[in-house]
Amino acid sequence: MPRTYEAPPSENTGCKQGLYIHIPFCKQRCIYCDFYSTTCGEAEKAAFAEALCAELVSRKEEAEGRQLTTIYLGGGTPSQLSGEALTRIFSTIHSAYTIDPDAEITIEANPDDISKDFIAVLQSTGVNRVSLGIQTFNEDLLKILHRRHNASQARNAVLTLHEAGFVNLSIDLIYGLPGQSLDTWRHDIDTALRLPIKHLSAYALTYEDGTQLTRLRDIGKLKEAGEETYRSSFYLLKELAEAAGFEHYEISNFARSGWRSRHNSSYWDGSPYIGCGPGAHSFDAKRTRRENRADLCAYLNTPGAPAFREEHLSQNESRNEFVFTALRTNVGVNLELLSRQFGAAALSELLNAATPYLRLKELEERDGHLRLTPAGLFLSDMIMRDLMTV
């Protein structure tokens, strides 16, 4: 049986260690997506599993004797890997790293990949959380987005996993889709909330450079939703999810009590994580970020030693990250911790910059934390820009 979790993530990052694995394969490309992935065949996937295992082994020292508290297979589409490849990857993780017995182990999956065989692989590898990329339950919109599944496959995927004993289920939705009315969005939210899920992530559609979505908009084939549509979609989601008992714990994330994503929470509380696979990011919880080169061919040619670039954060960059990541969550910025880590001047600078938003009640200072109010959540990008120090 999958394990269950009750405790919310704490602000103490001392004993956490995440492992992220980027699986760079998709069966077909969705028109809005700019994540690194390819549509290669089985031979490349098998070679990738080998190269990934080599990288996992070569980087095990980075965990420095800590147990892995979260493991997350994202992509791309991890459910596009064969059962053998997934089994090989997990057995390498188990032999190279020590895994906390209560670790959260997540795999992202597409609804149409959920089969008896796939579920059997998940059960045998210790996966205890599945995150399904559903995006919408509207058939027309699914086709426009070039998603592989239909609405009933999406619902059935959740129900099948639940019947198989997976309790910790999450789904992703997108709002602000071209032609999506508020009623259509309400139907998506209602459908999601009737399913046996513990977690819901919902993102505003973004028009990224180089995507087909952006090209279609630029030649007038699609109409981008206006700001008011994004705003009302966001607040409708918040209202309905909270009424159904979900906690709005991060700008784009909702969870039933005790079921926050521990892995994603570690991105927001500054915990260390090792990222393996092409394009994967790592952070040492001090000042160093690493990004593997997003190039599958190069990755396959250098097993265990992928090319990467490192960024050493300055004091200012580090302070900005501390503020922005914490501000995304409903915990907010721990002001005492900020002062301890970055000095009293950093604290007064932050509170000065925050003053106009505190007056407008878009930020609040309470219990030693600075956080976005409901009114400020939708304006988070602008507010964070204004709180940045250069």
**Which residues sit at the interface with ligand SF4, rule CB under 6 A?**
26, 29-30, 33, 35, 37, 75-77, 110, 133
Q: Which is nearer to ligand SF4, 212 or 330 (CB)?
A: 212
Closest alpha carbon to 177 in 229, 239, 240: 229
Tell me the closest approach of the beta carbon of residue 80 to ligand SF4, in angstroms. Answer: 9
Tell me the closest approach of the beta carbon of residue 248 to ligand SF4, in angstroms. Answer: 23
d(CA 266, CA 16): 8
Q: Which is nearer to ligand SF4, 3 or 29 (CB)?
A: 29
Adjacency order of strands within the sheet including 18-23: 247-250, 253-255, 199-204, 168-175, 129-135, 99-109, 68-75, 18-23, 273-276, 281-283, 288-292, 308-312
Tell me the closest approach of the beta carbon of residue 169 to ligand SF4, in angstroms. Answer: 17
Q: Which is nearer to ligand SF4, 34 or 317 (CB)?
A: 34
Q: Which is nearer to ligand SF4, 24 or 306 (CB)?
A: 24
Closest alpha carbon to 231 in 239, 222, 243, 220: 239
Q: Which is nearer to ligand SF4, 205 or 346 (CB)?
A: 205
**Residue 63, token pair as written in the block:** 């965990």
Helix axes 380-387, 344-359, angle to 10 degrees: 140
Tell me the closest approach of the beta carbon of residue 247 to ligand SF4, in angstroms. Answer: 26
Q: Which amino acid is at 284?
A: D
Q: Which is nearer to ligand SF4, 133 or 332 (CB)?
A: 133
Q: How far is CA 54 from CA 121, 301, 311, 371, 376, in A?
A: 21, 12, 23, 42, 45
Q: Which is nearer to ligand SF4, 211 or 341 (CB)?
A: 211
**Residue 221, token pair as written in the block:** 């084939």
Site of tokens 């057995």? 91
**Residue 271, token pair as written in the block:** 């915990």
Q: How far is CA 50 from CA 71, 97, 366, 371, in A?
A: 18, 17, 50, 44
Closest alpha carbon to 38 in 30, 28, 47, 48: 28
Phi, psi at residue 168, to the nearest 5°? -85, 85
d(CA 170, CA 152): 17
When CB distances to ligand SF4 are compared, the closest residue is 33
Tell me the closest approach of the beta carbon of residue 185 to ligand SF4, in angstroms. Answer: 19
Q: Which is nearer to ligand SF4, 147 or 328 (CB)?
A: 147
- Residue-wise over 286-314: b if at least 16 C-beta within 10 A, else e? eeebbebbbbbeebbeebeebeeeeeebe
d(CA 224, CA 252): 20
**Residue 50, token pair as written in the block:** 């080998």
Q: Which is nearer to ligand SF4, 157 or 354 (CB)?
A: 157
Tell me the closest approach of the beta carbon of residue 161 to ligand SF4, in angstroms. Answer: 18
Tell me the closest approach of the beta carbon of residue 302 to ligand SF4, in angstroms. Answer: 23
Tell me the closest approach of the beta carbon of residue 384 to ligand SF4, in angstroms. Answer: 25
Q: Which is nearer to ligand SF4, 133 or 178 (CB)?
A: 133
Tell me the closest approach of the beta carbon of residue 203 to ligand SF4, in angstroms. Answer: 11
Other beta carbons within 10 angstroms of residue 124's beta carbon come to 12
Tell me the closest approach of the beta carbon of residue 110 to ligand SF4, in angstroms. Answer: 6
